[in-house]
A and B are shown apart, each in its own frame.
Chain A
């Protein structure tokens, strides 16, 4: 809970090492604050993100999951981000069956230079999830 007693979502973010994690570091270099609700897990490629990780995060109390990848065509491993996108699309359909709306499991692209975009995505997602309740246990 935040100081004003409002709901503070916990978000697990999977970031690929080469673009998005570097983008998050870039945001750090800018030293402009963003909400601290996101906990980053570094993977070498967004293609490593097993749908099981996402389900496990939700099962253990995450209010949102974020997957950030290289832009299409920029993947360090050529096409891992496309695999991540395919899996994310399918998983989103499954999650909705469980009442987990798509706003809670977001995929986006952040390049190594896009520190500002990283901030914007985090800020947006936290704002959207703040308006929602925590997921039921």
Chain B
């Protein structure tokens, strides 16, 4: 501490002529005699050069100053370099203050005397400040390197498989009974019309029975229930609903399904087919094991039916009719959210007929219709079983609309062109009318499908830029009338392409994890351009359409990007270093007013309701100092930027 003769060394870098031409080192030396503790002044020619650093370190080792001021270039250029030199010289790097006499004085001051005068002032400020600086050390915290991935769609599967490949243990939580997300149920994908399940098959295979799949704990019908702790040391509680069919014992033969006497309508098939109480969600679903719907099963309505259990060729243990809900607890270091997205509910728009008119479908329903495992086996037919002579495809439903979704989802046009292609391929004579606000075809591959749709003989495009949605009404003969921008067409089938919105439950998960959402409800990035994979909370990463509407290609890339963060941040056998220039609450002075936690952008401050005091988590704190300035009791110290240090700098500058 200052007071009883602190030895301060001022190192003045000439920076060749850059500084020396404008600022006199001799005048600085002369002035320093009036500074507290009479620092010594040493000049170096280029302190950042190799020989300059050697000279600096040598001098530090010889002089053994208690505090160091380096008057040179911007700390943005060489603060790190200088701190390393201090460490090499055996001095704590936080005992140095850098003064920017090049960028902020020598280069911008015309008059040599005034430049020298300003430099003396700045160095005096630094001397006042550095006397109060304290040695700080990085703290080390042991971490768990396991990762929790939420959502087994394309992004989540890619993340889980890649983490397992890198040797990490993964807990993969999926709330549906199957993996693959939305596209696993599609037939063809834009832009290249590849078969979706075929593309996803290798990834799903890797996940379920690949070389590294043992490192992945897949929990289907499971949802995150509670998370405590912080980056490197989270504890996740996961609620798992009973599947009643063991994933390990079941061979997917479907004997139980055949034997089951209870049925329900299949919602994925637009209620156009039946499903059993114990059944697959769709043909070819993975894991290849059915699940039991308690709300349909007779046993759960009071009967003592055990038809499925009796039919199972794998023995008594595969189907467990008494399985209950379970709460699992896992220690993890990082969390990747890959919960995907859903569709804007078009029934919110009056006049579009969604939910009212049987031949008005939304895009997901139409995808299911196109699927060979769908309700029509891939046939495009109206509710009365006819091949449609005319189809209207309505883009931008809810999109580009300040009252609903004030953004373009970016993928709807492309799947709309895909629908055009699918209809044309089967029924070239079917008339297709696209109603759209805007048309987008981004990237290097989207143009071909758009051009095919636009040049097709029986296709037309109507731009609706008045801001009104087309109005769909029944027409006398059982057909539909579509009126958009005063153009009236008759259609047998209408396909709505609604905006992509956050998946159902995105709000609950955000509240549970304490992360932010943007105004559209998607998870908010730490920084939209530079840090889009990171959520607003350290150690929680975002991948795929939970962050922003996107296609499968981008979702898979985002899965990998999130993995990159998890791998780089948490490594086995390596502790994470906690920056010491962070905030700390002196509990004896804390009045428990919560003001600090209300201004902390990183949720780094928690409140101990027993002690009635706040405390800062050093792992989460990034050292901005907003809480320090906010604390009315002055109970928070912003290490390396303390009130005393900054006030001393002000005093030094104004002496």
List residues of A whose CB falls within 8 A of some B CB: 10, 12, 17, 21-22, 24-25, 27-29, 31-34, 36, 39-45, 47-53, 56-57, 60-62, 76-80, 83, 87, 119
Contact = CB atoms under 8 A, between A and B. Distances in A.
B104 A28 contact: yes
A57 B655 CA distance: 11
A57 B105 CA distance: 21
Contacts of A10: 654
Nearest to A60: B654
Given A25-B74, A47-B624, A50-B643, A36 B105 contact: yes
Contact of A41 (B118, B622, B629, B653): B653
B473 interface: no
A28 B19 CA distance: 12
B458 interface: no
B599 A28 contact: no
B118 A22 contact: no
A21 B622 CA distance: 18
A29 B654 contact: no
B641 A24 contact: no
B102 interface: yes
B270 interface: no
Interface residues of B, number: 42
B305 interface: no
B601 to A, nearest CB: 4
B650 A53 contact: yes
Contacts of B629: 47-51, 83, 87
A40 B76 CA distance: 14
A28 B77 CA distance: 13
Interface in B568-583: 581
A33 B108 CA distance: 4
A77 B622 contact: yes
Contact of B653 (A12, A43, A83): A12
B624 A41 contact: no
B125 interface: yes
A36 B641 contact: no
B107 interface: yes
Contact of B601 (A62, A80, A87): A80
A80 B76 contact: no
B108 A45 contact: no
B108 A28 contact: yes
17 contacts: A24-B104, A25-B103, A28-B103, A28-B108, A29-B103, A31-B107, A32-B108, A36-B115, A41-B649, A44-B641, A45-B625, A47-B626, A53-B643, A62-B654, A76-B624, A83-B626, A87-B629
B651 interface: yes
Contacts of B628: 48, 50
A28 to B, nearest CB: 3
A48 B624 contact: yes
B655 to A, nearest CB: 8
Residue of B108, B109, B599, B628 with most partner-chain A CB within 10 A: B108
Contacts, number: 119
Given A39-B122, A53-B647, A29 B107 contact: yes
A49 B630 CA distance: 9
Contacts of B267: none
Given A12-B653, A57-B650, 15 more contacts: A25-B74, A25-B100, A32-B108, A33-B109, A39-B653, A41-B650, A43-B641, A45-B624, A47-B599, A48-B624, A48-B626, A48-B629, A60-B650, A77-B622, A80-B601
Interface of B, helix, strand, loop or mixed by DSSP:
helix
A43 B107 contact: no
Interface in B94-126: 100, 102-105, 107-111, 114-115, 117-118, 121-122, 125
Given A45-B625, A77-B626, A80-B626, A28 B118 contact: no
A42 B630 CA distance: 18
Given A44-B641, A57-B654, A83-B626, A36 B646 contact: no
Contacts of B76: 17, 21-22, 25
Interface in B600-653: 601, 622-626, 628-630, 638, 641, 643, 646-647, 649-651, 653
A135 to B, nearest CB: 12
A4 to B, nearest CB: 12
Contacts of A36: 105, 108-109, 111, 114-115, 117-118
B75 to A, nearest CB: 7
B75 A28 contact: no
Nearest to B627: A47
A10 B75 CA distance: 23
Nearest to B638: A48
A27 B643 contact: no
Contacts of B654: 10, 12, 57, 60-62
Nearest to A15: B104
A7 B308 CA distance: 95
Contact of A34 (B75, B108, B647): B108
Contacts of A25: 74, 76, 100, 103-104
B622 to A, nearest CB: 6
Interface in B531-568: 536
B641 A48 contact: yes
Contacts of B107: 28-29, 31
A63 B626 CA distance: 25
A79 B74 CA distance: 25
Contacts of A45: 624-626
Contact of A83 (B100, B105, B536, B599): B599
6 closest cross-chain pairs (CB), A and B: A28-B103, A48-B625, A47-B626, A77-B624, A45-B624, A78-B601
Nearest to B118: A36
Q: A27, A48, A80, A119: which has the most chain B beta carbons within 10 Å?
A: A48
Contacts of A62: 650, 654
Contacts of B105: 36
Given A36-B117, A48-B624, A77-B622, A28 B74 contact: yes
A34 B622 CA distance: 34
Contacts of B651: 56, 60
A39 B118 contact: yes
A29 B104 CA distance: 9
B355 to A, nearest CB: 39
A60 B125 CA distance: 13
Nearest to B74: A25
Contacts of A119: 108
Contacts of B121: 39
Nearest to A87: B629
B535 to A, nearest CB: 12
Contacts of B601: 77-80
Contacts of B581: 44
Contacts of A21: 74, 76
A80 B626 CA distance: 6
A42 B114 CA distance: 21
Contacts of A24: 103-104
